[in-house]
Amino acid sequence: MRISAPQMGNLHIMLDDLFGRLGVEYVQPPPSSTKTLQLGAKHSPEFACLPLKINIGNFIEALEVGADTLVMAGGHGPCRFGYYGIVEERILRDLGYDFRFIMLEPFSDGVWAFYKVFESLSPGLSIRKLWKILKISFSKARAIDRLHKRALQLRAYEANRGDTTRALHGAEEIMAAAHTAEEIEAAASESMAVIEAVERDSGRDVLRIGIVGEFYLLLEPFSNFGLEETLGQMGVYLERSVWVTDWIAPNSNNVIYGYPKKTIEKKAEPFLDQNVGGEGRETIGSLVNFAEMGFDGVIQLLPFGCMPENIATSIIPRVQQEHDIPVLTLAFDEQTGRAGMVTRVEAFLDLLEARRRNRPGAALKPGTAASA
């Protein structure tokens, strides 16, 4: 069995680890590229949201390099994600591919069904063993998320452009090699030290921006033209509201993001008092959150036509009546170009800087410049 799954940010490092422990051969699809997207868009319905189109491209490319089993996460709405898998399977079969398809429905849906999926991949696996594997694999994923979070904060201060990204790659390699619990723990501090060691110019006056929006757009740099790295290198300190491991473990209080789901929902309540699927409510709650923390601005990222985010976008002006914070909304589809995005981002940064100059009191409060 050669198993594969869509690409998304650093998910492949996590899957490589997980499938390795289960004794299943994992085929990483070639990194998402323009070709992947074109391929996916060609075979997907026109109005499908962007993540589905890239998924299709990934699956085709994975099948082409020899994957014979595809896994996709499920869910129960109300947005599209929970039905992606069914539609993706249909599209691929209509294209004539032969493969085994596995929909992995959330753990909370039923532990037994969840276990059975893994047991079918790794016969003889006991529930206890699965639990141990998931736990250790997850701890590694957590450590990787922490590295990325720190990189988002520190890149703004790097003395030499590109150092943070290079350090991050090195740090990820250290993490990838760790296997036992002890090794993971050691690698976590060793890799974090690599990031912290990047030479900085701590006196730099940086803008602080919160990134909110749809899960995939936030987690897959290919889908947003590496926006976070670009912003960091323009000297912007970033916090992001969505993290893979926070999503996998929704009951763990968003430890990476740092603000429990409940807190964020409460902040959204006056404006959007309902889960509308995806991250719609979280986008509103986090916008309020970043505004309260005195961030200079917020960027909302979404796939074109994303329902939960379109709802959020509709509501943002009302949030802004109460919280004075600039928001830049960027929607992406297969026609979006990098140049247009960068122009809009640059104009936004100009606006934020002008606001800072006009409101000297709004400059960074001492101590809030993170621990740079």
Partner 1 sequence: MRIGIPRSLLYYKYLPFWKTFLTGMGAEVETSPLTNKKILSRGVEVAENELCVPVKAFYGHCMALRDNGVDALFVPRVVSVEERAYTCPKFLGLPDMIGAVAGSLELPPLLTPRLNQREKPREFKLQLMDFAREQFGLRRLEALAALESARLAQRRYQEGLAGGRKPLDLLPASRFNTPRWRPPAEKRKRIGLLGHPYNIYDGYLTQNLIARLEEMGAELVLPEMTDHNVLMKAATDVPKQLYWTYEKEIMGAINLWTEKQMVDGVVYVLAFACGPDSLIQVLIEHRAKLHNIPLMSLTIDEHSGEAGLITRIEAFIDMLMRKKTAA
Dump strand ranges (E) for 187-233: 207-213
| Count of beta carbons in the 10 Å neighbourhood of residue 242 | 23
Establish if 306 lies at the interface with ligand SF4 (CB under 6 A): yes
**Between 80 and 150, CB nearer to ligand SF4:** 80
Q: Would you count residue 276 as binding partner 1 (CB under 8 A)? A: yes
Using an 8 Å Cβ cutoff, are 178 and 265 in contact?
no
> Could you tell me which stretch among 22-30, 75-83, 121-129, 334-342 binds partner 1 (CB under 8 A)?
75-83
Are residues 9 and 256 in contact, defined by beta-carbon separation less than 8 angstroms? no
Least distance to ligand SF4 from the beta carbon of 72, Å? 12
Q: Which two tokens stand for residue 280?
A: 């719609």
Q: Do residues 99 and 60 make contact, with C-beta atoms less than 8 angstroms apart? A: no
CA nearest to 236, candidates 205, 214, 266: 205
Which of partner 1, ligand SF4, none lies near 274, with the C-beta cut-off 5 to 8 A by kind?
partner 1
Residue 331 near partner 1 by CB under 8 A: yes
**Is 56 among the residues that bind ligand SF4 (CB under 6 A)?**
no
What are the tokens at 243? 């993290």
- Identity of the residue, 46 or 182, whose beta carbon is nearer to partner 1 in the bound complex: 46
User: CA-CA distance, 258 to 292, in Å (whole number)?
Assistant: 15
Q: How far is the CB of 217 from partner 1 (least distance, A)?
A: 14
Q: Can you tell me the distance from the alpha carbon of 290 to that of 293, in angstroms, rounded to the nearest whole number?
A: 5
Query: Minimal distance in Å, beta carbon 55 to ligand SF4?
Result: 10
Instruction: Draw the binding track, 143-162, toward partner 1 (x: CB under 8 A; -: no contact).
Output: --------------------
Helices and strands (H and E) in the chain: how many: 15, 8
| Residue 90 binds which entry of partner 1, ligand SF4, none, CB below 5-8 Å type-dependent | partner 1
Q: Which window, 120-128, 169-177, 183-191, 303-311, contacts partner 1 (CB under 8 A)?
A: 303-311
Listed as own residue / partner, the contacts of 281-284 with beta carbons closer than 8 Å and 24 or more positions apart are: 281/308, 281/312, 282/212, 282/241, 282/242, 283/212, 283/213, 283/214, 283/241, 283/308, 283/309, 283/312, 284/312, 284/315, 284/316, 284/319
Cβ at position 265, least distance to ligand SF4 in Å: 17
For position 217 contacting partner 1 by CB under 8 A, the verdict is: no
214 near ligand SF4, judged by CB under 6 A: yes
Q: How many residues bind partner 1 (CB under 8 A)?
A: 46
The residue from 62, 268, 307, 345 that contacts ligand SF4 (CB under 6 A) is: 307
Instruction: Please report whether residue 303 would count as binding ligand SF4 according to CB under 6 A.
Output: yes
* Residues making contact with ligand SF4 (CB under 6 A): 49, 51, 79-81, 214, 216, 277-278, 303, 306-309
